[in-house]
Amino acid sequence: MSTDTDTDADTDRESDKSNSHCGASTGDTAGTASDSGSTCGASSSDDSSASNCGASSSDDSSASNCGASSSDDSTEKEVDATVDDFDADPGKLVAVGLGPGHPEGMTERARAALLEADHIVGYTTYIELLPDEVVEGADEIYDTPMCGEVSRTEESVDRALAGNDVAIVGSGDPNVYALGGLALEILESKGATPSLVDFEVVPGVPAAQSCAARLGAPLVNDTVSISLSDHLVPMPEIESRLHAAAKESFTITIYNPWSRKRRENFQKCCEILLTHRDPETPVGIVHAAGREDEEVLITDLGELAGLGENEIIDMTTTIVVGNEETYAWDDRMVTPRGYETKYDY
């Protein structure tokens, strides 16, 4: 079963090559007692998550879909339980951005929100990034491997509807190619009114900013972000966005740049950028910012395509393509803001 078409999650090459095992893990990575149903995310009548969640749901249709194809785990899937299946007063649901990965990169508000939550739900890689005090303080941790964004988010919604205070976690910020919006969409599709569940987004430092910080100051002017993941947006649309961004003088941050199944997307992206930009345009590549395996490289657009097969570029990498004025100053990437046109220095 392929895994990398299933999700936008920031998976590494290792997991990219491995087989997906759809289903919640036991939570042992998080070091806590975990309910960890055997299904992928959504609650079902016979796993332990169902009893914790309180939803009376049918069997887990998402489980068989997890990782199977790019279209399987989509918002088109019908939700299982609706608001009418829950008797409790809903708890609070917070979408928490963890920032780049290391505990110091998390905001104080994010840490507090996680400490306040009864249940924490997330992709296993993100759960592994949580500080010990957060893991130890939670009643339950529900983590799933690289699959099931929709079912995992639905799990968090169901747990909140069942009366628990729930945090769903992700890297960076919940509003950047992440699950903040999906949580609201699922709540709506379950028949909730906007005020039924107390929902909050707790921002985190997005990868673009964490990576820019490692590179110097490449993003101080107008910037566009583009994800090369064709899981939810078809490639022709991504190509047209790349053309539009590259024609203008934006700095471009590229998310989800490479996976085995997206090799061609990466090559196409390099081709499009070179249609509009000089091959000497500085490019910054940051792999796993703020994590143990962080790597940083400043190169240029002419070299970028040749780095596609290099370990530094995978689904835990963000690429920053400079604008016409961006320059490399030794190991620093600098995009002038325009002060030099008004001031002498």
Ligand X SMILES: C[S@@+](CC[C@H](N)C(=O)[O-])C[C@H]1O[C@@H](n2cnc3c(N)ncnc32)[C@H](O)[C@@H]1O
Stretch that binds ligand X, among 13-21, 22-30, 88-96, 283-291 (CB under 6 A): 283-291
Residues in 110-149 at the binding interface with ligand X, rule: CB under 6 A: none
Shorter beta-carbon distance to ligand X: residue 171 or 335: 171
283 binds ligand X (CB under 6 A): no
What residues contact residue 344 under an 8 Å CB cut-off, 6+ apart? none
Residues in 19-48 at the binding interface with ligand X, rule: CB under 6 A: none
What is the closest distance, in whole angstroms, from the C-beta atom of residue 249 to ligand X in the complex?
23
What is the closest distance, in whole angstroms, from the C-beta atom of residue 341 to ligand X in the complex?
32
What is the closest distance, in whole angstroms, from the C-beta atom of residue 126 to ligand X in the complex?
10
Q: Which of 3, 4, 6, 10 binds ligand X (CB under 6 A)?
A: 10
Shorter beta-carbon distance to ligand X: residue 280 or 331: 331
Residues in 53-112 at the binding interface with ligand X, rule: CB under 6 A: 100-101
Shorter beta-carbon distance to ligand X: residue 174 or 282: 174
What is the closest distance, in whole angstroms, from the C-beta atom of residue 82 to ligand X in the complex?
28
Shorter beta-carbon distance to ligand X: residue 100 or 148: 100
Q: Which of 50, 150, 286, 333 binds ligand X (CB under 6 A)?
A: 286
In angstroms, the CA 309 to CA 259 distance is 9
Return the structure tokens found at 332: 């620093």
What is the closest distance, in whole angstroms, from the C-beta atom of residue 317 to ligand X in the complex?
6
153 binds ligand X (CB under 6 A): no
Shorter beta-carbon distance to ligand X: residue 177 or 266: 177
What is the closest distance, in whole angstroms, from the C-beta atom of residue 172 to ligand X in the complex?
2
Calculate the alpha carbon distances from 135 to 2, 7, 28, 30 in Å. Answer: 30, 25, 11, 6
Residues in 311-330 at the binding interface with ligand X, rule: CB under 6 A: 315-318
**Other CB atoms within 10 A of residue 137 CB:** 16
Shorter beta-carbon distance to ligand X: residue 53 or 106: 106
290 binds ligand X (CB under 6 A): yes
Shorter beta-carbon distance to ligand X: residue 90 or 172: 172
Shorter beta-carbon distance to ligand X: residue 11 or 335: 11
What is the closest distance, in whole angstroms, from the C-beta atom of residue 20 to ligand X in the complex?
16
Interface map 200-239 toward ligand X (x if CB under 6 A): ------xx--xx----------------------------
What is the closest distance, in whole angstroms, from the C-beta atom of residue 263 to ligand X in the complex?
15
Beta bridge partners of residue 169, listed in sequence order: 96
What residues contact residue 262 under an 8 Å CB cut-off, 6+ apart? 4, 228, 229, 230, 256
Interface map 241-270 toward ligand X (x if CB under 6 A): --------------xx--------------
Radius of gyration over every alpha carbon of the chain, rounded to an integer in angstroms? 21
Are the beta carbons of 260 and 332 closer than 8 angstroms? no
Binding-site ranges for ligand X (CB under 6 A) = 8-10, 100-101, 170-173, 176-178, 206-207, 210-211, 255-256, 286, 288-291, 315-318
